Amino acid sequence: MKKDIQELIERFLDEFMQIEYKGKDHIIARKHYREVFYELIPKYYGPKKSYSQIKAPDLISDPALKNIVVIGAGYGGLTAALRLERLLKRYPFFKVHLIDKHPFHTIKTQLHEAAVRKAEVSIPLYKILKNRNIQFHLGEVKNIDTENRIVQIDERFLNYQFLIIAIGSKVNYYNIPGMAEHSFALQTLFDADKIYQHISSVCALSASEKDENKVKENLRFVVGGGGLSGVEFAGELADYVLKCITNYNINNRNIEIILIEAANRLVPFMDNEFSEKIKQRLIDKGVKILLNSKIVKLTDDEIFLENGKTIKTKNFIWTGGIRVSDLLKRGGLKTGPAGRLIVNQYLQAEDNKYVYAIGDSANAINPVTGKPVPAAAQFALQQGRLVAENIYAEIFGKSKKAYYPKVLGEVVSLGKHLAIGWLALPILKKVTFVGFLGKLLKTAIREKHIILLRKESRNWITY
Ligand SMILES: Cc1cc2nc3c(=O)[nH]c(=O)nc-3n(C[C@H](O)[C@H](O)[C@H](O)COP(=O)(O)OP(=O)(O)OC[C@H]3O[C@@H](n4cnc5c(N)ncnc54)[C@H](O)[C@@H]3O)c2cc1C
């Protein structure tokens, strides 16, 4: 029987190379497909079918052999799909599939601007994927069957040879009573739109309210979580609400913005010096900051803190934590803190070499510090490029590259005209920015993302 298989596979390979590589003697591709056929033939055809009945064209048309499936068209997933398509341009046998539950790419790093002043932060995917050999699937991935290598998109199924998980993260409510029911999240464009509609109507309602205490309560906005998204949102809100109520002739002493953080400083992943600067600038904008304050319960109009204090508000925005969807765990994949997929240095699932994860979904470890790489757009982009190259290397028998995160800088925007941060310069130097210059830098970072998308997709992309 073993000899039968060997003969069959060699015959297959000859036919296969003839069809897919026009007879070109591509030694590495031949080696790769020999391994693939050895694995697939007994699984797909034996022992039910006699090996002599198997025809190469049937097997070649089997999508499991050639589909590279990317779930998520965010920073990481889109970069990986575009890079793969470019790398595999000469091999039409492979098909890159991109799945997302939305038909647009969200510039998530600017989501606070959409939530507060309705800034444009999405790009239709058709503009990015135009003329690219990438099959887009609109829908939500409900299940990943790693044993049979199938993903379920709503009611449809798609086989894969390699899978890249880039589903980002969602809000983590940490089981705090009332948090999921009574807070606004800021993770998607829909969340941002909901917040925008709410703030607009709160300001408008306050214009006709005669009772000043009621106006004060109406205009008390509370942000839970002093990480990157919380401080950026609070800074933006301070500028906007002021403008909004001025337009309605409401006295600005009625506005109150409170930022609550459980740790002893804001944006804890940045250096203390930056945390202090951010805190001071927010205070200058009129934001009240409560550090070392843990929220333990929420009702529809009240926040309860661990220290016994309460705050009355109906405007509570929760940016206090993220986690990855249970999809990975349900697929039998090994997950770590916050549900992120445990990956090796090549960003492959530890126990499944056909599955890769990137961005917020991956628990990538920084080999220098031994700590998980933070959830940030710059790392998702780097990882997207790396997994595309590693899958290409895996297919063609080249060596894969280990992931080393490069920190290019950290910039936190605090309203329309202000940002604080630093940027890495060649030869280990870094330059710090505070104020309008920082804001220009933040804008430049966003534009760089668009420019890179244009370069990778070879399309002229606009919002
Ligand atoms: C308000 C805010 C401000 C931020 N500011 C910054 C910043 O200044 N700098 C920075 O570096 N980072 C910032 N971040 C973090 C940054 O946005 C994320 O780290 C980054 O978006 C992660 O990229 P990703 O590719 O992993 O996932 P995402 O960009 O989130 O993309 C995930 C994609 O997967 C899709 N998806 C999810 N589940 C499914 C499913 N089951 N089926 C189909 N599709 C699915 C989603 O629709 C989405 O398109 C901010 C985040 C927020 C919320």
| Residue 443 within any structural domain of the chain | no
Domain-terminating residue out of 321, 355, 377 = 321
Find the range with the poorest average confidence among 17-31, 150-164, 399-413.
Answer: 17-31
166's CB contacts (< 8 A; 6+ apart) are: 70, 71, 72, 74, 76, 77, 80, 357, 358, 359, 361, 380, 384
Q: Which residue has the higher pLDDT, 305 or 161?
A: 305
CB-ligand 1 contact for 327 (6 Å cutoff): yes
Residue nearest ligand 1's atom 50 by CA: 109
Q: Among 152, 228, 382, which residue has the most ligand 1 atoms within 8 Å of its CB, making it the best to mutate? A: 228
CATH of the domain at 353: 3.50.50.100
Q: Is 110 in the pocket of ligand 1 (CB under 6 A)?
A: no
**Which tens digit of pLDDT belongs to each residue from 33-91?**
787 777 767 665 555 556 666 666 666 666 666 899 999 999 999 999 999 999 998 77
CATH number at residue 268: 3.50.50.60
Average pLDDT over residues 353-380: 95
Ligand 1 centroid from CA 342, angstroms? 18
pTM of the model: 0.89
**The pLDDT of residue 77:** 98
Please give the span between the terminal C-alpha atoms of the chain, in angstroms, as a whole number: 59
User: Are residues 335 and 303 part of one domain?
Assistant: no
| Range from 161-170, 229-238, 451-460 carrying the lowest mean pLDDT | 451-460
The band of 169, judged by pLDDT with boundaries at 50, 70 and 90, is: very high
Decide whether any atom of ligand 1 lies within 6 Å of the 229 Cβ. Answer: yes
Q: Are residues 205 and 316 in the same domain?
A: yes
Atom of ligand 1 nearest to the CA of 108: 17
Q: Tell me, using a 6 A CB cutoff, whether residue 323 lines ligand 1.
A: no
Residues 152 and 222 in one domain: no
pLDDT tens-digit series, residues 254-292: 899 999 999 999 999 889 999 999 999 999 999 999 999
Burial class (CB within 10 angstroms; exposed 0-12, middle 13-18, buried 19+) of 371:
exposed
Q: Is the CB of 186 under 6 A from ligand 1?
A: yes
Which of 283, 306, 321 is at the close of a domain? 321
- The answer to whether residues 228 and 310 belong to one domain is yes
> Both 125 and 155 in a single domain?
yes
Task: Establish if 397 belongs to a structural domain.
Answer: yes
Instruction: Among 298, 321, 344, give the residue marking a domain's end.
Output: 321
How many separate domains does the chain show?
3
Residue 254 within a domain: yes
Does any ligand 1 atom lie closer than 6 A to the CB of residue 187? yes
197 shares its domain with 296: yes
Cα–Cα nearest to 29, from 446, 444, 398: 398
Dihedral angle computed from the Cα positions of residues 81, 83, 88 and 94, in that order, rounded to the nearest 10 degrees: -10
Same-domain check for residues 105 and 18: no
Average pLDDT over residues 412-416: 90
Q: Is residue 442 part of a domain?
A: no
Q: Tell me if 414 is assigned to some domain.
A: no
Residue range 333-351: mean pLDDT, rounded: 95
**Do 336 and 291 fall into the same domain?**
no
Name the residue with the closest Cα to ligand 1, atom 1: 229
- Rounded average pLDDT over 320-339: 95
**Ligand 1 atom nearest to CA at 79:** 25
Q: Are residues 30 and 95 in the same domain?
A: no
Together in a domain, 216 and 284: yes
Percent of the residues in the chain that have a pLDDT greater than 70, as a whole number: 93
Q: Exposed (0-12), middle (13-18) or buried (19+): which is 156, by Cβ within 10 Å?
A: exposed
Distance 175 CA to ligand 1 centre (A): 22
**Would the CB of 380 count as within 6 Å of ligand 1?**
yes
Q: What percent of the chain has pLDDT over 90?
A: 63
Spell out the residues 6+ positions from residue 444 whose beta carbon is closer than 8 angstroms to its own. Answer: none
pLDDT band of 388, cuts 50, 70, 90:
very high
| 195 pocket-lining for ligand 1 (C-beta < 6 Å) | no
Q: Relative to the CA of 139, which ligand 1 atom is closest? A: 43
Residues 144 and 87 in one domain: yes
Residue 38 belongs to what domain range? 2-45
Task: State the pLDDT at residue 276.
Answer: 95
Determine, yes or no, domain membership for 305: yes
Structural domain contains residue 100 = yes
> Are 188 and 280 in a shared domain?
yes
Helix axes 377-395, 75-87, angle to 10 degrees: 30
- Domain-located, residue 348: yes
What is the rounded distance in angstroms from the CA atom of residue 159 to the CA atom of residue 152?
Answer: 9
Rounded distance from Cα 165 to ligand 1 centre (Å): 12
Over residues 408-425, the mean pLDDT reads: 87
